[in-house]
């Protein structure tokens, strides 16, 4: 498999992501659009990249104050998103990152929060390509 294209964006936790996306889109003079789910909005940044605003899963604790904004490294796969994420996470750990949670499958793909060598949180996100082959049932 060739290396997939990697993109960097910022993720921001919000209790009302649509309202916060409209706020930042107004400030940045861009237009917010819906993301991967009803609780996920994307605000394009003027110089490239994006701000992804989301409501965290109710199964996860709310991010602590000061920790609601983090970098998001994202790529798309046509293979198994969870397997690709596990492999990617292993490479990040080999570079000096750390993980306190296992990668998990979500409706939009697979994700895992990690920490860089200085303890700053970041998100790895692998989105399942819409062109992915269907698995046998």
CATH number of the domain within which 43 lies: 3.10.180.10
Q: Is residue 122 part of a domain?
A: yes
pTM: 0.70
Q: Please give the pLDDT value at position 1.
A: 46
pLDDT in tens, 20-40: 999 889 888 899 999 988 899
Q: Is residue 25 part of a domain?
A: yes
Cβ–Cβ < 8 Å for 70, 10: yes
pLDDT in tens, 52-73: 999 988 888 777 766 678 889 8
Residue 135: is its pLDDT beyond 70?
no
Give the structural domain span for 53. Answer: 6-128
Q: Is residue 17 part of a domain?
A: yes
What is the domain count for the chain? 1
Q: Please give the pLDDT value at position 66.
A: 67
Rounded to whole angstroms, the Cα distance separating 76 from 131 reads 10
Q: Is residue 1 part of a domain?
A: no
Rounded to the nearest integer, the mean pLDDT of the chain is 86
């Amino acid at each position: 498999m060739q290396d997939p294209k990697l993109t960097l964006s910022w993720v921001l936790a919000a209790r009302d992501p649509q309202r916060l996306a409209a706020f930042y889109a107004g400030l940045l003079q861009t237009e917010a659009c819906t993301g991967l789910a009803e609780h996920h909005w994307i605000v394009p940044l003027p110089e490239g990249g994006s701000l992804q605003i989301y409501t965290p899963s109710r199964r996860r604790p709310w991010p602590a104050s000061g920790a609601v904004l983090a970098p998001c490294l994202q790529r798309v796969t046509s293979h198994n998103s969870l397997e690709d994420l596990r492999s990617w996470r292993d490479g990040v750990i080999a570079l000096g990152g750390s993980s306190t949670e296992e990668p998990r499958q979500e409706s939009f793909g697979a994700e895992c929060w990690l920490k860089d060598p200085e303890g700053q949180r970041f998100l790895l996100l692998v989105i399942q390509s819409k062109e992915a082959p269907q698995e046998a049932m």
